[in-house]
Structure formats: C-alpha cells, structure tokens
Structure 1
C-alpha cells in the first residue's frame, strides 16, 4: 500500500471512526456492570458483537477504511482510558496504539487476538522508493475463517477471565459462532472445488489475501497494483507493466478491494484484455456488513469470476 493510499485511508478513518459503535463517553456501563471493550478492526468488532451484542463496545476503525493507519480521536482516547479490555489484531498492524495506550492512561488488559495463528512472513518486496517492506509478517489474518475462529476463541477466553460471573454465557455464544465459522470454512472449500486449482489466480488491487489463498489453494498475486491503486494519474508505464504481469500470471479476471480505489485496476484490466470480477472485502468490512457476510460475498465474487459453481449454502450462513 502506498503512502498516499495510507494517508487517504487515515483521513477517512478520522471522520468515520465511531460509525456503528457505542458512545465512547463512558465505557463502563454501571447500570448493567458491562465490561468496557475497545476493539481495533471492524472484523474484531463484529466478532465481539456476536459474542455479546449488548457489551459496551468502542470500535476504532470505520467501515471501508484501511486498517494500516489510524489517528485516534479524543472520544476514542477517552474510551480507551476507561476500558477493561483492548482487543487488537496484532502482528504489527496497529502502530497507532503504541502512543495511544500510554497517552490515554489505559490500565486494562490488552488481548492480542492473533495468538495461536500460524503467522506467515510478508512475501512482497519493498514499495518503490522504500528500503524495507511495510511488514515483516502478514497481518491480514482475518481473511481466512480458520484464523477468525482462533481470534474469536481468544476473545471469548479474555471475556470469561475479565467477567467470570458470565463466563458460561460467553462460552455458549463463542461455541455457537465458532460453529458458524466451521460451516463457512467447509462451504468455501466445497465452492472453490468447482474451480480447477490452475484457474484460481487471485490478482487484486491490494495485498490482503495471503491467508485466504494459503488455506484454500489459491495463487495470490496481490501487490503488483497496490503501490499506485490510489493514484488518479497512474502512468501508462505503470498500467502496462501491471498488465504484463496479469498476462504472465494467466489470470482471466481481476478483482478490486473495498478500501482502495478501483480506477487503476480497471485500467489494468482493459490493457491486459481481461475482465473485472467485482470488489472484495479486504482491510475492512462495509457499513452494516458482518464478518461472515463479507467472506460469503468474497467467495461468491471469486467463484463467479472464475466460472465455478457455488456449493449449497448452509442455513447457518443465511
């Protein structure tokens, strides 16, 4: 992701950061003795809502905004100062927390939801003009439901420990949600089985889909467009270079990503003579979109673009 793209995403986050979340004015609900929880990503916020829809939750990142960069608002700092739990993705994603935790006086428990996930090294080289890659390891663990299952279980354990009086309720809800994620995992595998592995080539405008690709035998070529996807004036050389990569990869369809501009990838598709298969949820969920809905949408978009046939969707995913 380019510095420009991160900057645009950060601006969007500042203006929308509290959309869909509870008020940050008083994180501790004294009337119901609810835990005060601050969660970083839209995916983690949705996990929490599935475990306890009434919990006193503050979400830091906004729908359709990149998770790579964020500026804390005054309301968010206040919520963090009063929170019992801080739930983060980890893997060096949330750099903004380093100063925020200290400055806010946060005295609660930080939960790294990536604990137990098999973390992959960052496979892409540095962006143009940079000496080091953006990451050492890939933080986009949520793109695979198998990792989401681990994240949800980690959150459940943290809630049980912080609020032992309601531990049985948390566990029951976690078990129910995990069962849905297991159904989702099987449905993905069954649906992708309709597409030959040689044709599962994922070429996108962003580099977020490594774990999904690893778990479901997809060839992922994601970063070739990411260093200029937010530029309105991507040069002909940029476009032609990316188009050559598309032709070399054998991809027949390209996919955009919801937190990035689709302008350049559309130009690349035209230059390469391939079609656009739709937009995927990557860094962020959309407004009023759940985690499960986002993954279902992604798989439907991919399978349709690749010419496969979706497996029958279990009732738990409806």
Structure 2
C-alpha cells in the first residue's frame, strides 16, 4: 500500500469516526430535549370531569392532566382509592370543586393542601351569589357549573393558579383562558335564548336530585328534585308523594333522569302520577354531576351543557 492510499484510508476512517460522534451527540441531544419537554409539563390532578375540561383548555400543552372521576361517577359518594391517592401524590397541583361536592374526600384534600397547591375552583365566586346547601354538611350548593357565569369564574381561578405555579407560561395561560371564556360566553347566551322557547307555564325541570338550582336561577326555569342537593341524602315515600302531587297539579308532562343517579328513584314518581291519572314521560337523560364519555360531544363541558339545554327544550316546549 503506497503512502497516498494510506493517507486516504486514515482520512476516511477519521471522517467516519467524526460522523459517528456527531450522530451520538445528536441522539443524546434529542433524548435530552424530549426528557426536558416532558419534565416541563405540569402534572395536574383533578376531581370531576368539568374541572378536567377547564385545565385542559387553559393549560393546553403545558399540562398533563389526570382526572379521578370518569363519566357516570357520582362525586357526592365517591371514595378515593389507593390509586387515586398516588395520582394526588404525583401531582404538582390539584384542582377540586369545593363547597363539599367531594364530601368523602375532604380529609384527603386537606392533607394534600399542606404539601402542594390544592385549589378549589369555587374560591373566586362571591359567596353572596351562591345558593344555600343547608341540608348538607356545607353552607352552599356545590353545583356551580350549571350557571355558566360561575364556571367562568372557575376558569379564572385555574388560570391564575397555573400562572402562579408556572410563571414562564403565564401569557399562554392568559390567552388560552381568554379563548375558552369566549366559548363560555357564547354558551351562556345559547342557554338563555333556548330556554325562552319553552312556554312560561311549562318551564318546570324535574330531576332525581336537586342539582340544577343554579341552572334554574340563571335561565329562569323552575327546578324540582326528588332528593336534596346531595345524592347522599335519603328520600322517602313522603318526598315521592309531594313531588307526584306537584307534577299532577302543574300538569308537567316530562321529567328527566340523570347519568350519575339511578333511574329507579324518578320512576317511582312517574308511577305515582300514573295512578293519579296523569301521564308523564321521561324527557331524556341529563348530565348533572358528571360529563359524558371522553371523545363524545357530551364529554366536554360545553357539549354537556348544550346537550342538557337541547334535551330540556325538546321535551318541554
């Protein structure tokens, strides 16, 4: 092998070696970038789906959200599992409704509050505009999402809490929240306009439990529930009789079942009215304490509210 060939060989070997080093460095850099990107996501744990929806809209790509309660789950009766405790432990921030909605989780949430930001989305709402929840172990009705204006305040609470925890992306949280609030303003107008399509004498919403009080106040429809504000409250034959007589007297033609409450309770009222000669139909299923399944329109807060409004209007107008 002459000197020219040897020289060329070593140059080629050096080039190959250099290329290998560059590829290795590049691969490491990409791995590090991916790892850093993942680490920058804020780990958020939420209780009910409606709050999960806010956090996903406001936090967008900067958060990784884990919700504890899925479609059809009743938050009043929900008990945290060991898996849930781990999800709460792993979170950097926790969002819950407050006002005793998550009644059986109060002790756990209080404990978490001593370790990390644990935020009730209801905190920004002026207590003067809240309904009484005297029959529960709380002062107020927790079903605040049924007045869209209240849920706008909840959105602001999430925005501010994420901004405080992660000031680097404060502007993004502000812009995302602004865009979501526009959607909620449109939703509020939609609900107001649609309910007016129901004749005033027919604006009576009867459900299994008294979850729709804020909805009634906001959109001017009378609301009656067989059970109280919490599904943990018991109902008896007297409650069934009183609601039955109300339906017969007012000639209400439809009542509604709820996705997170057994249907049998409201069926007893329907049967009682029938025995009195008054026919009542089930006007449809409403989403009260839980949204619909993920991936469906009702699996979002906006879609859930629109579904409820449309179902009520179609049955009563």
TM range (shorter): 0.7 to 0.9
1:157-180 Cα deviation digits (max 9, x unpaired): 111111111111111111111100
Counterpart of 2:24?
Answer: none
> What secondary structure, in the 3-state scheme, does the structure 2 residue paired with 1:223 have?
strand
Equivalent residue for 1:285, pick from 267, 291, 303: 291
Match runs of 1:16-95 below 5 Å: 31-54=38-61, 55-95=63-103
* Structure 1 pair 225–166 and aligned structure 2 pair: CA distance change class (3 A): closer
Q: Which whole-Å CA distance do the structure 2 matches of 1:98 and 1:91 have between them? A: 10
* Structure 1 pair 267–284 and aligned structure 2 pair: CA distance change class (3 A): same
Provide the aligned C-alpha RMSD in A: 2.8
Contact 1:143 1:212 in 2 (8 A): yes
Contact 1:229 1:265 in 2 (8 A): no
Task: Report how far residue 247 of structure 1 moved.
Answer: 1.5
Counterpart of 1:147?
Answer: 150
Contact 1:58 1:76 in 2 (8 A): no
Q: Which whole-Å CA distance do the structure 2 matches of 1:140 and 1:254 have between them? A: 19
Q: Which whole-Å CA distance do the structure 1 matches of 2:42 and 2:166 have between them? A: 7
* Structure 1 pair 195–69 and aligned structure 2 pair: CA distance change class (3 A): same
> What secondary structure, in the 3-state scheme, does the structure 2 residue paired with 1:182 have?
helix
* Structure 1 pair 214–66 and aligned structure 2 pair: CA distance change class (3 A): same
* Structure 1 pair 157–106 and aligned structure 2 pair: CA distance change class (3 A): same
TM-score (normalised: structure 2): 0.76
TM-score (normalised: structure 1): 0.76
Task: Report how far residue 119 of structure 1 moved.
Answer: 1.4
The structure carrying a bigger helix percent of its residues is 2
Q: Which whole-Å CA distance do the structure 2 matches of 1:35 and 1:228 have between them? A: 33
Q: Which whole-Å CA distance do the structure 2 matches of 1:270 and 1:191 have between them? A: 30
* Structure 1 pair 134–276 and aligned structure 2 pair: CA distance change class (3 A): farther
Contact 2:76 2:101 in 1 (8 A): yes
Gaps of 5+ in 1: 1-27, 127-132, 308-318
Match runs of 1:188-227 below 5 Å: 188-224=191-227
Establish whether residue 162 from structure 1 lines up as the match of residue 165 from structure 2: yes
Counterpart of 1:294?
Answer: 304
Counterpart of 2:266?
Answer: 265
* Structure 1 pair 197–159 and aligned structure 2 pair: CA distance change class (3 A): same
1:270-289 Cα deviation digits (max 9, x unpaired): 43222210011001112111
> What secondary structure, in the 3-state scheme, does the structure 1 residue paired with 2:118 have?
strand
Task: Report how far residue 76 of structure 1 moved.
Answer: 2.0
1:165-219 Cα deviation digits (max 9, x unpaired): 1111111111111100000000111111112333210111111101011111111
Q: Which whole-Å CA distance do the structure 1 matches of 2:94 and 2:230 have between them? A: 31
* Structure 1 pair 185–154 and aligned structure 2 pair: CA distance change class (3 A): same
Q: Which whole-Å CA distance do the structure 1 matches of 2:246 and 2:37 have between them? A: 57
Q: Which whole-Å CA distance do the structure 2 matches of 1:182 and 1:138 have between them? A: 23
Report the structure number with the largest CA radius of gyration: 2
Q: Which whole-Å CA distance do the structure 2 matches of 1:190 and 1:249 have between them? A: 24
Task: Report how far residue 143 of structure 1 moved.
Answer: 1.5
Task: Report how far residue 226 of structure 1 moved.
Answer: 8.5
